[in-house]
Structure 1
Amino acid sequence: MRSEGKITTLPTARTDPFDPPDGLGGLRPLTRLVYADGHLGWLALGHAAVRAVLSDPRFSTRPELKHEPLSSGLGQLGADLAQPGMFVHMDPPEHTRYRRLLTGQFTLARMRRLEPRIEKITEEQLDELARHGSPADLVAGFALPVPSLVICELLGVPYAGRERFQRDSAIVMRGASAGEDVMRAYASLYAFLGELVAAKRAAPADDLISDLLATEELTDEELINICLLLLIAGHETTANMIALGAYRLLTEPAQLSALHADPAAAAEELLRYLSIPHIGPIRVALEDVEIEGEVIKAGESVTVSLPAANRDPRKFEHPDRLDLGRGASGQLAFGHGIHQCLGQQLARIELRLVYSALFSRFPGLRLAVSPEDVPLRTDMLVYGVHRLPVAW
């Protein structure tokens, strides 16, 4: 809703499932936004404005300073989000220390060494999908298991525990979850990872958790919180990107020739076009900052709209057109600045391999329901689909 030059509620509803939320069009690159608690802050929509906010050290990501644009059970986690190891909620120099330790674990070379294993996981899940038979839910049968297996492989998490962490992380990521449900799920995840870290300390293996333990620079509390972030981010985002991207391709199968011609460019364009982190990130001005001719006062929160920024016509020609051949250089689906997604190279590799393998194995893949009957994740912090019924 709009009132006197400001938005009174952050839009989340969508007329078209693949376009940014309704009501974002025609707004200034920086627009006033009324937050859930009445705070008058800002919504950044323009590509340049978003980059400026995310890269300027005068903005903080500390949770105790932020206001939330929507009422959410996540607000109950404010104190926990500031705990040791929760580096995405820290500013330098605390953030710098953790990022330095983790960057070496996510190099492009290391991610590429995982490619054969990712290919094998993908093929095995396609085999499972084929054994299940048509019709099937592509989310439960493919989009969710593949990144779950990959992040388990990377971290050294027993895959037998996947249902527990998938259930709990879904509750944590549901924007409308009740506060007590969020806290219960968060505690369950923390306990699960605490047991895992203790097991790795007793018997190290060839995985990321054991590697971080070997540095002797992290306490168990820090490592548990780091793994909590990586585990949730490593399967929630990629799983929803796989499913939503497949949904979009199934509505326009003419695009598949471009997908097979250059899977990497196709994945980059799908990331731009769909932009699944659709609520936030949020930053807080530590001092007065001028961006795009507007002065953001110290203490004011700024919510960034990555979907809007990735459809900015000043950056991308014909931004509302899906063009798998464009490459989408400069897209912001992984964020920008010092908090840019740590696992972005892993996600790119997964998407490139998964889309190509899926549509090669099932060239006749089609939706098993009407497009409008696919349930959307507008109630979640990461956008996507709850289910994707397909047939072949």
Structure 2
Amino acid sequence: MTRAESVPGACPVTGGAGLTRIRTPTGDSAWLATGYHLVRELFADARLGRSHRTPETAARIGESAFFGGPIGNFDTELADHARMKSILQPHFSPGRMRAFRPRVDAVTAELLDVLAARGGPADLHAELAVPLPLQIICELLGVPFEDRDSFREWTAAAGDVADRGKAEQGAADIFGYCRKSVEHKRAHPGDDVTSRLCADPELTDDDVAMFAMVLLFAGHETSVVQIGVAALMLLEQPELWRTLHERPELVPAAVDELLRACEPTNLPRYARVDLAVRGEQVAAGDLVLLGLTSANHDATVFPDPARVDFARAQGQHVTFGFGSHYCIGAPLARIEMQAAIGQLTARFPTMALDAGPAGPTQREEVFTRGLTALPVTW
């Protein structure tokens, strides 16, 4: 279960739609929105946002710099969000990402070549789930892959759910790095997203650095989590692994279903005004958590939701959001997952979870959660 759904008073992930009063891990009062249709409805409701009129008094779900509480300027949030999407989306369009796919496939093959040569047992988290999306986002942004250990350290710090000072320092470290990168790209432009953003006369250095910071964090962290969790789900059900080995044409559908079946973190929103939702009165400033796991496991939309079924209709889940809040990085994330899962199942038909005492380990201190190790053998 996700953090918010595990607190007292929360609805089970397969429960009915509605709003339920809960306590967040920080002890604050919040609403948990459950059910597929309600979550999609609230994604599209402009009366909810990520900012807060008085952020210092706002309810929180943790100390994470990016997702623990409110972010952005309350008075300009809607315009700022529209501007950000209009600037960034062309750089991550489906067409542009398809053109980049051969590079994703090549990086994946290189990583798996190393894995195969080294032999098992191995940690699939460290050997594939982490380096693949990290190398890809570094190449897209035009920053050195050699700095990857720092990126991972800063990302983990920025997402820390318990230590506000650590989270803020992590975010500051990422921004400082991106600010220096912008200065370098101004003087030495290349064929990368940062350089193209620098060429926009309407963007300041701080603007470009902020966009690069968001892309560096979100562009690899969520994919690391998704690749690891998807591989784990398949390894826990070997018949599904064998199916993809025998029928590789199912990989795109399988990736979409694995995205649905995972347990994404609930997303925080704040009511900008008083509003009524399914018979409940939500006051301006209230924290509303969008229950993505509940939505993706709504039995009225996904029959037998606990079962991983590659034959389900694709594209219905809300793991990447919905409407104007649909993640701009979704095309890239899908391509990375398809490369990782497709090549893994093709090249390692006998791969299995390592039966050693440690087993797969998860982290709870970072907002995005995910694995810290995925030991496998073949």
Q: Same fold (TM over 0.5)?
A: yes
Q: Which deviates more, 324-333 or 150-159?
A: 324-333
Please tell me whether the aligned partners of residues 62 and 90 of structure 1 are also in contact (alpha carbons under 8 angstroms). Answer: no
TM-superposed deviation, 1:142: 0.8
**Distance in 1 separating the partners of 2:139 and 2:221:** 15
Say if 2:29 and 2:59, in contact at 8 Å, map to a contact too: no
Question: C-alpha deviations, 1:59-106, integer Å up to 9, x for none?
Answer: 121156564453425389879x438xxx9x963212211211111111
Q: Give the SS at the match of 1:233.
A: helix
1:146 aligned partner: 132
Tell me if the contact between 1:268 and 1:327 (Cα under 8 Å) persists in the aligned partners. Answer: no
Report if the CA contact (8 A) 1:61-1:90 is conserved.
no
2:172 is equivalent to residue 187 of structure 1: yes
Q: Which runs of 5+ in 1 are unaligned?
A: 1-8, 14-20
Provide the C-alpha distance between the structure 1 equivalents of 2:357 and 2:14, rounded to a whole number of angstroms: 24
Are 1:366 and 1:390, in contact at CA under 8 Å, matched by a contact in 2? yes
Question: Aligned in 2, Cα 1:69/1:181: closer, same or farther, shift over 3 Å?
Answer: closer
TM-fit CA distance, 1:304: 1.1
Residue 10 of structure 1 corresponds to which residue in structure 2?
4
TM-score (norm 1): 0.87
Q: 1:315 to 1:120 in 2, by over 3 A?
A: same
Amino acid at match of 1:268: D
**1:30 aligns with one of 10, 19, 24:** 19
Partner in structure 2 of residue 222 of structure 1:
207
Taking the TM superposition and a 5 Å limit, the aligned residue runs for 1:241-280 are 241-259=226-244, 260-276=248-264, 278=265, 280=266
SS in 1 for 2:78: coil
Q: How has the CA–CA distance of structure 1 residues 109 and 98 changed in structure 2, closer, same or farther, with 3 Å as cutoff?
A: same
One-letter identity of the residue aligned with 1:285:
A
- Structure 1: distance between partners of 2:50 and 2:307: 33
Specify which of 331, 344, 347 is matched with residue 358 of structure 1.
344
Instruction: Choose from 43, 58, 61 the match for 1:70.
Output: 61
Deviation at 1:333, TM superposition (A): 0.3
Contact 2:155 2:217 in 1 (8 A): yes
CA–CA distance in structure 2, aligned partners of residues 383 and 265 of structure 1: 24
Match of 1:114 in 2: 100
Cα deviation 1:23-60 (Å, max 9, x = unaligned): 54546521112345655331011111111111011112
Q: Tell me if structure 1 keeps the 8 A contact 2:13–2:297.
A: no
In structure 2, what residue type is equivalent to 1:251?
E
1:102 aligned onto 2:88: yes
What CA distance in whole angstroms lies between the structure 1 residues aligned with 2:92 and 2:355?
39
Equivalent-residue separation in structure 2 for 1:235 and 1:78 (angstroms): 21
Query: Cα distance, 1:22 vs. partner?
Result: 8.9
**Partner residue, 2:39:** 50
Distance 1:183 1:307 in 2: 28
Deviations 1:158-195 (A, max 9, x none): 1111111111101212323x222222222221221111
> Is the Cα–Cα contact under 8 Å of residues 289 and 295 in structure 1 kept in the other structure?
yes
Q: Given residue 63 of structure 2, which amino acid in structure 1 is its aligned partner?
A: S
Alignment of 1:288-303 (within 5 A): 288-303=274-289
Percentage of identical aligned residues: 34
1:135 maps to 2:126: no
CA distance in 2, matches of 1:104, 1:234: 15
CA–CA distance in structure 2, aligned partners of residues 78 and 44 of structure 1: 17
Equivalence for 2:156: 170
The whole-number CA distance in structure 2 between the counterparts of 1:51 and 1:232 is: 25
Range 39-48 or range 29-38, more displaced: 29-38
Deviates more, 1:100-109 or 1:375-384: 375-384
What does residue 18 of structure 1 align with? none
- The letter of the residue matching 1:210 is S
How far has the Cα of 1:291 moved from its partner? 2.6
Q: Name the CA shift for 1:90/1:116 in 2 (closer, same or farther; >3 Å).
A: farther
Change in Cα spacing, 1:209 to 1:378, as seen in structure 2 (3 Å) is same
Partner residue in 2 for 1:199: 184
1:10–1:69 Cα contact (<8 Å) kept: no
Q: State the secondary structure of the residue aligned to 2:82.
A: helix
Q: 1:162/1:130 Cα in 2 relative to 1: closer, same or farther (>3 Å)? A: same
C-alpha contact 1:168 1:188 (8 A) present in aligned 2: yes
- Unaligned ranges ≥5, structure 2: none
Equivalent position amino acid for 1:374 in 2: P
Counterpart contact for 1:265–1:328, Cα < 8 Å: yes
344-353 or 89-98, which deviates more: 89-98
Q: Distance in 2 between matches of 1:138 and 1:343?
A: 23
Who is 2:373 aligned against? Answer: 387
Alignment partner, residue 61 of structure 1:
50
Contact 1:272 1:331 in 2 (8 A): yes
Q: Compare 236-245 and 92-101 and name the one that shifted more.
A: 92-101
CA contact (8 A) 2:61 2:68 kept: no
C-alpha distance in structure 1 between counterparts of 2:68 and 2:251, whole Å: 39
Instruction: List per-residue Cα deviations over 1:286-336 (Å, max 9, x = no partner).
Output: 223233333322222101111111001121111111112214431000012
| Aligned alpha-carbon RMSD (Å) | 2.6
* C-alpha contact (below 8 Å) 2:351/2:377 kept by paired residues: yes
Distance 1:145 1:364, change over 3 A: same
